[in-house]
Amino acid sequence: MSKIIGAVEIGTSKAKALIGEVTANGSVHVVGMATRLNDGMRKGEIVDFRKAAQAVHSALADAEKMSGTTVDEVYLAQTGSHLRGRMLRGSSSVSSSDNRVSASDLQRASEEAKRRQSEEDRTFVHHIRTPILLDGRVVQDPVGMIGSKVDLGYWSVDGDDQAIKQALHVISNYSLDVKDLIISSIASSTMMAGPDLRRAGTLVIDMGAGVTDFALYRQGFVAYTGVIPVGGDHLTGDLSMGLRILEPYAENLKIEHGKAFADPINDSDDVWIIGNKTIGDRSVPRKAITDIIHVRIVELFEIISKELEGLLDPDELKGGVLLTGGASKLPGIEQVASKVLGFTVRKANFPNGISNDLAQPENATVLGLLHYGLEDHSLPGKRNEEPESSFMGKFKKMVGLSSEL
């Protein structure tokens, strides 16, 4: 019997629900998906619970109707500038008399790394394992190998308790459990950067409406994640203020005429704001639109570059930089990013097997939720156990939910 799983992204502009059927070979077949406008979010955080819940519940209901089935639990994306990441490390001496590493040696090192508590009013969302070292050498699975000391680390992300509670309650109010909470940058990176790219070293930047999430991979492991509270909506706001027009008109100008940098030959004409050339309509220079957008885009990539200062080593970033998310559709954005970051930048492509209607940059996170959730993230020697990234048992106690995973 096939397994049905769900994924939910509560985005700044839209709420998305996806239902997938896990086939016998472990792949996922999407059987239902729905999107609803969301007026309850700002910069990736819930500011109006009822509006956010209404958008999510409507999307879930429509996705279930489309699939002809129901889900009991979902993977939930988490974003927002309240998220913070740091590296935690632990080590353990090999305990056996013959110096062969056991699974318990790894477990002790893992527990030491994760022993550090989060600050008051904050909760760990993710412990994402980094390479394992045996006597200073990187190994994939040290269990059974001979050595004296095991070291491992986690890129650990924590978030504001209240922000996390709000997101969880949106789902629980639909009588669903949250299987796992996954930060958006990891979800979209899992979808858009395959294992080979992650091993080569890749920076994935997911440009949404309210925030921009990014994840840096080195040697196949997460080295850094971040959230910048700037997204496509800020481009719309800049155009609205700069051109003194209403935001709906600014949004249309961005979509129809927006570009990341000016073209002296093709940007010398004017465009009409409303488009019908009636009373109240007026024209603006096309170059003015581009110039306003360009300033904000440059600023965004400069912020990312500064946050990753010292981490962007060309020898460890051979996979280059990938752009995804709805705002990455902006023409010319990869050229601007490349100039600011100093690396080859390209728009990410979906892997084979994703239908054209789903293979849109704005769907990277919600599709990635399912793929990340189906991967095995446990320690070597503990395969098929509860993923190390899952903290839903703790979250359920925190928000007062009774069921156990």
Q: Is residue 44 within 8 Å of 218, Cβ to Cβ?
A: no
Four-residue CA torsion sign, 329, 330, 334, 340: negative
What residues contact 397, with CB distance under 8 A and at least 6 apart?
A: none
Q: How confident is the model at residue 292 (pLDDT cuts 50, 70, 90)?
A: very high
To the nearest 10°, report the CA torsion of 352, 356, 362, 366.
-60
Structural Rg of the chain based on CA atoms: 23
**CA 335 centroid distance within chain:** 22
Q: How confident is the model at residue 276 (pLDDT cuts 50, 70, 90)?
A: low
pLDDT for residue 113 is more than 60: yes
What residues contact 241, with CB distance under 8 A and at least 6 apart?
A: none
pLDDT on residue 369? 93
pLDDT for residue 385 is more than 60: no
pLDDT on residue 25? 74
**Domains of the chain, earliest start first:** 84-159 (3.30.1490.110), 194-347 (3.30.420.40)
pLDDT on residue 389? 45
Rounded Cα–Cα distance for residues 115 and 127 (Å): 11
pLDDT on residue 395? 44
187-227 residue pLDDT tens? 999 999 999 999 999 999 999 999 999 999 999 999 999 99
Token reading at 43:
């910069």
DSSP class of residue 360 equals -
Least confident of 103-112, 197-206, 240-249, 377-386: 377-386
What's the rounded mean pLDDT across residues 109-123? 84
Q: How confident is the model at residue 403 (pLDDT cuts 50, 70, 90)?
A: very low
Per cent of the chain over pLDDT 90 is: 72
52-101 residue pLDDT tens? 999 999 999 999 999 999 998 899 999 999 999 999 999 999 999 999 99
Give the chain's mean pLDDT. 88
* Strand locations in 52-208 (E): 73-78, 84-93, 122-129, 132-134, 137-139, 149-160, 177-183, 202-207
Q: The tokens 């899992």 sit on which residue?
A: 190
pTM of the model: 0.90
Least confident of 253-267, 326-340, 379-393: 379-393
Per cent of the chain over pLDDT 70 is: 90
239-269 residue pLDDT tens? 999 999 999 999 999 999 999 987 776 777 8
122-153 residue pLDDT tens? 888 888 999 999 999 999 899 999 999 999 99
25-48 residue pLDDT tens? 767 889 999 999 999 998 888 999
Q: Is residue 191 within 8 Å of 364, Cβ to Cβ?
A: yes
Which has the higher per-residue pLDDT, 231 or 120?
A: 231
Which has the higher per-residue pLDDT, 49 or 29?
A: 49
